[in-house]
Chain A
């Protein structure tokens, strides 16, 4: 079934392949229309200078109506960035990934948003409720209903 999701992702992938990804963001793998991986780093003089993170996008069949599940990969070689909106399990509290998602957004635009979220960080801290959240967190961050605070970061 050429679902809307597959068509849209195919289009995004074509664009990424032809026009490249934004600076600091590289496509690592997009073998299907379910899970894509990107590497992301923040260029310039930021708190995350020299750090490279790995982003995982998971799409369900309703993308782009439903938002992708986006999180930082935490494994032997990757850590989640230390950021007030990023939990140590890689889950990200960002309204555009939840209530403020819009189908106009895309994989590339999410990457850029997250990059700028990191770039504007002023102090490397975990969210205050990190331990509690991580202990309870579902596998899929979309199952979490984050409470989005007005961004002061």
Chain B
């Protein structure tokens, strides 16, 4: 910590930061207003959190236990998700799809005491254990022997008699755990990625973690997914003005329309109808006639003639190349573009498996709240990762901690409504 200017502590997200004055101080990390200046060492707000805390933290699990448990979760599970089912998985229930239950029901809570005895922090991944318990055993130690050794040792003596690993070390191990399966033979599924990814497993490998990416290929994937998901090419509805100005004619004896069909309902125009509106014929500029109640709903979804596709309002080019600005439907659904590409750009470099770059990614993942967790010198063990319940405003600044929400919903999914 800097000795010149005291840091502030946020009681909402437990970040140590310098607040934004707007004009009152608010947390630079979560925009919460429950912040406190840490100027009096005798009255450290961080002790408050340890004493009672806002979160129901399940005991003092240390860093080793966390990593060990993580490895247990990430360990390849024979018989589970070996064959990808071809059936579509509904994104409506992104939380914990069936078949993934054994790995999805876990909840990590790890809490570390500060180096000087104060400043406990908690870090929660996952949701309520709805699918029965999963014990955090780690049975395979064939990979990463050094880390496994480390983890196994941690499990035996619970880490009490050993020095905690340092922040950068933890970052390396964590990133190795997270990124490990990508490089391993056999295309091992990675349940943690799957969980964080909405349980679908589709893009878990290849450097994607939700909408965070670790390499160029994954970024391309995100972008192409967003493009496919965009409104480009969707029909533009006719404006009310255009619709109102269309010529209308009430059917009467001898009308030439009586010989014709309405192409929408495929029924002949006739004089006796239950609905008097059906005696109103709307003729489009291309001379194609329709029942008024047939054509109006269509024009509200697409300003074209159903028969000949005459465009009453300019339409996006059929099979147009990518999105054209301004061509989106005025009333159309929102496209899930927005913050994601910019948020992903920052961390598009670096490889998840490489330990050397782990710290950097780690910092960018969790760095929003960790003022000094990964890079600090005197507070290496005081990790400030937190689980937060309110959605962050700028998603990108908050980092990966948000991926730990119970219902991971990422932009670019397939669950956007059509309408």
Chain A residues at the B interface, C-beta cutoff of 8 Å: 4, 7-8, 11-12, 62, 64-66, 74, 88-89, 91, 95, 99-100, 102-104, 106, 129, 131-132, 134-139, 142-150
Contact = CB atoms under 8 A, between A and B. Distances in A.
A45 to B, nearest CB: 29
B37 to A, nearest CB: 46
Contact of A143 (B293, B309, B414): B414
B250 to A, nearest CB: 20
Contacts of A129: 224
A143 B301 contact: no
Nearest to A62: B297
Contacts of A102: 304, 306-307, 309
Among A88, A91, A95, A134, residue most surrounded by chain B Cβ atoms (within 10 Å)? A134
Interface of B: 84, 86-92, 200-203, 221, 224-225, 227-235, 263-267, 293-294, 297-298, 301, 304, 306-307, 309, 318-319, 413-418
A-B complex: 9 closest residue pairs judged by Cβ atoms = A135-B202, A137-B88, A103-B264, A89-B88, A102-B306, A136-B414, A147-B228, A139-B90, A104-B306
A102 B294 CA distance: 12
Given A4-B294, A91-B88, A148-B319, A104 B301 contact: no
A132 B200 CA distance: 10
A12 to B, nearest CB: 8
A62 B50 CA distance: 58
A134 B86 contact: yes
B234 A145 contact: yes
Contact of B301 (A65, A131, A138): A65
B318 A95 contact: yes
Given A102-B306, A148-B233, A131 B84 contact: yes
Contacts of B232: 147
B266 to A, nearest CB: 6
A103 B232 CA distance: 21
Contacts of B414: 136-138, 143-144
Nearest to A93: B228
7 contacts: A11-B265, A64-B264, A104-B306, A131-B84, A136-B413, A137-B88, A145-B231
A8 B306 CA distance: 15
A72 to B, nearest CB: 12
Of B87, B203, B304, the most chain A CB neighbours within 10 A belong to B87
B418 A8 contact: no
A62 to B, nearest CB: 7
Given A104-B263, A138-B414, A89 B309 contact: no
Contacts of A99: 233-235, 318
Given A65-B298, A65-B301, A139-B92, A11 B202 contact: no
A57 to B, nearest CB: 17
B266 A11 contact: yes
Given A132-B202, A134-B84, A139-B90, 11 more contacts: A65-B297, A66-B301, A74-B86, A99-B235, A100-B318, A138-B91, A142-B418, A144-B414, A145-B229, A149-B319, A150-B319
Nearest to B412: A136
B230 A11 contact: no
Contacts of B230: 145
Contact of A8 (B265, B301, B416): B265
Contacts of A136: 89, 91, 200, 202, 225, 413-414
Contacts of A150: 319
